[in-house]
Amino acid sequence: MTDASPGWELYRSFLAVVREGSLSGGARLLGLTQPTVGRHVDSLEASLGVGLFTRSQGGLAPTEVALALVPHAEAMAMAAEALRRAASGEAEDDRGTIRITASEMIGTEALPPILARFSEDHPRIAVELVLSNRTDDLIRRDADIAIRMVRPTQSSLVARKVGVIGLGLHAHKNLIQRFGMPMTVEELTQLPIIGFDRESSIRRLKDLGGFPLSRELFAFRCDSDVGQFAALKAGVGFGMCQYPLARRYPDLVPVMTGVIEFELDVWIAMHEDLKTSRRMRLMFDHLAEEMAAYTRLSPREPAEKQGRK
């Protein structure tokens, strides 16, 4: 190891390569050229006197030493971002950029009108939205604010539970007219059901009203929640839907309410270091208030009480 301490730009490139798994990916993430990122990694390895990556079929794999450096490099990244905000005056101003991550359904159906109202009040704040059903790690700064359906566990996060979303089985009214209203799970299993394709996705639901799930049970299979929802609205089959969302579509009818349904907690979270940023506080409070209102929308009257048509 040399006496000179490696500069932040070297660790910045190192962190980008770890996250992207290749020099080209790290270069795209940072807006640099691949040779530049490669020189940064080589310089960091020379300065530390250790190898940081090994080549694999999937790209560059970090060594054990590299993995040990990652949390420290991430801390440097957060400090660099905090310095940039402080220097630009954005910390106490309602301008800048906010990166939000949410699930596919929340991001495509619930958030657009919520974010539109925020933009009306704060037009100088740009919003970046990441749609992902995986839990993006706020510690790594994959996003500034996250809307999650599970309680965040990291101690360095500020998290607020804003409500509970109920999900229940639904079907298009035309499908009910074709097949009738199923009254038992056994009847339902004889009808077209919308579900997942891959076994890893199927495990997101343990069972269907006590009936074990399998890929063969589904007449329409799609691992995208947005794709399933589109099929549900088109009348392809019976499928799960958020009650607040189903209320927006009069043609969607609740099915077997109280038998096949479950609930998801809704949490808003951000890193505690962002509490000093005015724009982050504004967005955090806005999302908490709006998502709380969204979760309070109750299901419509069960279709079996409306009578069969």
Query: In the prediction, which pLDDT does 190 show?
Result: 92
Write down the pLDDT at residue 273.
Answer: 80
Closest of 161, 105, 165, 157 to residue 131, by C-alpha: 105
- Per-residue pLDDT, averaged over 70-86, amounts to 77
pLDDT at 304: 39
CA angle 82, 142, 196 (to 5 degrees): 160
| pLDDT in the model for residue 239 | 94
pLDDT at 76: 85
Q: Is the model's pLDDT at 200 over the cut of 80?
A: no
User: Is pLDDT of 121 > 70?
Assistant: yes
Supply 209's token pair: 């009203």
Average pLDDT value over all residues in the chain: 84
The CATH class for the domain spanning 165-263+298-306 reads: alpha beta
For domain 90-161+266-293, give its CATH number from 3.40.1010.10, 3.40.190.10, 3.30.70.940, 1.10.3210.10: 3.40.190.10
- Separation of alpha carbons 46 and 224, rounded Å: 45
Write the pLDDT tens digit of every residue in 204-220.
555 565 666 777 889 99
When mean pLDDT is compared across 144-153, 205-214, 245-254, the lowest value belongs to 205-214
State the pTM of this model.
0.67
At 305 the pLDDT is 40
Q: State how far the Cα of 202 lies from the Cα of 73, in Å rounded to an integer.
A: 36
- Looking at residue 303, its pLDDT comes to 38
Specify the pLDDT at position 192. Answer: 95
Of the given ranges (94-98, 234-238, 273-277, 297-301), which has the lowest mean pLDDT? 297-301
CATH fold match for the domains 90-161+266-293 and 165-263+298-306: yes
pLDDT tens, 216-234?
Answer: 889 999 989 999 999 999 9
Check whether 162 has a pLDDT greater than 90: yes
Tens of pLDDT, residue by residue over 255-292, are 998 888 888 999 999 888 888 888 899 999 999 999 99
Say yes or no to pLDDT of 92 above 90: no
* pLDDT at residue 205, rounded to an integer: 59
Domain residue spans of the chain:
8-88, 90-161+266-293, 165-263+298-306
Lowest-confidence region among 46-55, 104-113, 205-214, 268-277: 205-214
Q: How confident is the model at residue 308 (pLDDT cuts 50, 70, 90)?
A: very low
Q: What is the pLDDT of residue 3?
A: 53
8-88 is a CATH 1.10.10.10 domain: yes
Q: Supply angle C-alpha 52, 54, 59, rounded to 5.
A: 115
Task: Give residue 288's pLDDT.
Answer: 95
